[in-house]
């Protein structure tokens, strides 16, 4: 099997510990590349494509998946030559959940060994970061406003202790700040809101179906716009989201588009796959059926 697995050897948590227990088994049929610093997964993925590996596996969370995805894309025609595999070791693993990849390491590895693949749409974001243009692919989701501000505020030591609840704590902190004023232009209509979420799949933040009509293969981005974001909206949306996994339709605007542009009068952060991306203005679009990914 022509497979390269990219893994952070300093990763903590039970999943990472269990993964290490199976390193000999996984390494017997694949090449292991170990990261040494943030951003290494992207570089190593690029190297793996250049070395001719057909399957490049991200062993980690959604951030690792994003780095590996962009490393494949850094090579000309990289998505034609190599496909993406996922061993979900992260806190939330939204992309793995979307594709129904088992959260068990051995079961996920068996899926990679079996090698069944599908083609899905490949979303991309473009913005300016520290005065320089930046383009980044994403697997599952992007956002601007409150959620990106929460990503900025996440205390990483707290995340190590309480997992995804650290984002809830950061989200509460973000609510105390001034609300964002984001303009969303889809080409068909213009909307405004304090929080904008952009999905390729249905799920956000775990198993929450924020984008109920989303399809990874329909050539469209799904956009969820919160006209307002405050404590009243949180109280209105929270109970339903926790019990049914869905947002009340009266609290948000859901639209689909091939591309969207986000702008804001004040500094407003954007995130991609749970990692900071840059600040608005930003444009999001996708390449239909561009990404090959290994699935059960």
Q: pLDDT tens, 217-275?
A: 999 999 999 988 776 766 676 666 666 677 877 788 999 999 999 999 999 999 999 88
Cα 268 to Cα 279: distance, rounded to the nearest angstrom = 5
% of the chain residues with pLDDT over 70: 85
- What pLDDT band is residue 20 in, cutting at 50, 70 and 90? confident
Is the model's pLDDT at 291 over the cut of 90? yes
Cα 288 to Cα 160: distance, rounded to the nearest angstrom = 36
Cβ-contact 148, 276 below 8 angstroms: yes
In 3-state terms, what secondary structure has residue 52?
coil
Peptide bond into 252 cis (omega under 30): no
Is the model's pLDDT at 209 over the cut of 70? yes
CATH of 123-289, one of 3.30.200.20, 2.60.200.40, 3.40.50.2300, 3.40.50.150: 2.60.200.40
Cα 296 to Cα 294: distance, rounded to the nearest angstrom = 7
H helix runs in the chain, sequence order: 14-21, 23-27, 40-50, 62-73, 78-81, 94-98, 105-114, 146-153, 156-162, 165-175, 231-244
The pLDDT of residue 243:
63
Which has the closest alpha carbon to 119: 3, 259, 255, 215? 215
Is the model's pLDDT at 155 over the cut of 90? no
Cα 239 to Cα 54: distance, rounded to the nearest angstrom = 44
Is the model's pLDDT at 162 over the cut of 60? no
Lowest mean pLDDT among 83-87, 267-271, 291-295: 267-271
Q: If you count them, how many residues does the chain have?
A: 296
Longest Cα–Cα distance in the chain: 54
Cα 111 to Cα 295: distance, rounded to the nearest angstrom = 6
Half-sphere exposure of 188 (CA within 13 A, CB side): 6
Cα–Cα–Cα angle for 56, 60, 64, nearest 5°? 70
Cα–Cα–Cα angle for 142, 64, 67, nearest 5°? 70
Cβ-contact 272, 125 below 8 angstroms: yes
Chain centre to alpha carbon of residue 32: 23
CATH of 3-115, one of 3.40.30.10, 3.40.630.30, 3.40.50.880, 3.40.50.10330: 3.40.50.10330
Cβ-contact 137, 124 below 8 angstroms: yes
pLDDT tens string 103-143: 999 999 999 999 999 999 999 999 987 778 889 999 999 99
Chain centre to alpha carbon of residue 112: 20
- Per DSSP, what are the bridge partners of residue 292? 119
Which has the closest alpha carbon to 124: 110, 105, 139, 111? 139
The pLDDT of residue 172:
59
Half-sphere exposure of 260 (CA within 13 A, CB side): 31
The pLDDT of residue 141:
94
Cα 198 to Cα 142: distance, rounded to the nearest angstrom = 5
Which has the closest alpha carbon to 58: 116, 101, 121, 13? 101
pTM: 0.89
The pLDDT of residue 255:
95
The pLDDT of residue 120:
98
Question: 272 exposed, middle or buried (CB, 10 Å; 0-12, 13-18, 19+)?
Answer: buried
- Map out the domains of the chain as residue ranges: 3-115, 123-289
How large is the average pLDDT for residues 30-38? 90
């Amino acid at each position: 099997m022509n497979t390269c697995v990219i893994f952070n050897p300093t990763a903590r948590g039970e999943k990472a510990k269990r993964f290490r227990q199976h390193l000999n088994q996984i390494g017997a049929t694949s090449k292991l590349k170990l990261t040494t610093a943030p951003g290494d997964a992207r570089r190593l993925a690029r190297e793996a494509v250049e070395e001719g590996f057909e399957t490049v596996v991200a062993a980690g969370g959604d951030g690792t998946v994003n780095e590996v995805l962009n490393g494949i894309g850094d090579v000309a025609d990289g998505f034609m030559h190599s496909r993406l595999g996922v061993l979900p070791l992260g806190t939330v693993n939204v992309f793995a959940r979307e594709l129904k990849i088992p959260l068990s390491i051995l079961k996920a590895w068996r899926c990679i060994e079996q090698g069944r693949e599908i083609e899905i749409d490949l979303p991309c974001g473009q913005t300016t970061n520290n005065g320089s243009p930046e383009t980044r692919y994403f697997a599952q989701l992007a956002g601007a406003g409150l959620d990106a501000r929460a990503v900025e505020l996440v205390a990483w030591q707290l995340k190590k202790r309480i997992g995804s609840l650290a984002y809830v704590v950061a989200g509460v902190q973000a609510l105390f700040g001034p609300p964002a004023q984001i303009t969303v232009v889809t080409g068909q209509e213009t909307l405004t809101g304090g929080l904008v979420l952009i999905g390729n799949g249905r799920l956000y933040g775990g198993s929450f179906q924020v984008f109920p009509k989303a399809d990874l293969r329909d050539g469209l981005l799904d956009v969820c716009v919160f006209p307002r974001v405050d404590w009243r909206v949180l109280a209105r949306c929270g109970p339903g989201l926790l019990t049914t996994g869905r947002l009340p339709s009266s609290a948000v605007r859901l639209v689909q588009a091939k591309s969207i542009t986000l702008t804001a009068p004040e500094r407003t952060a954007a995130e991609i796959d749970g990692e900071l991306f840059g600040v608005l203005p930003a444009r999001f679009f996708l390449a239909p059926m561009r990404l090959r990914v290994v699935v059960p």
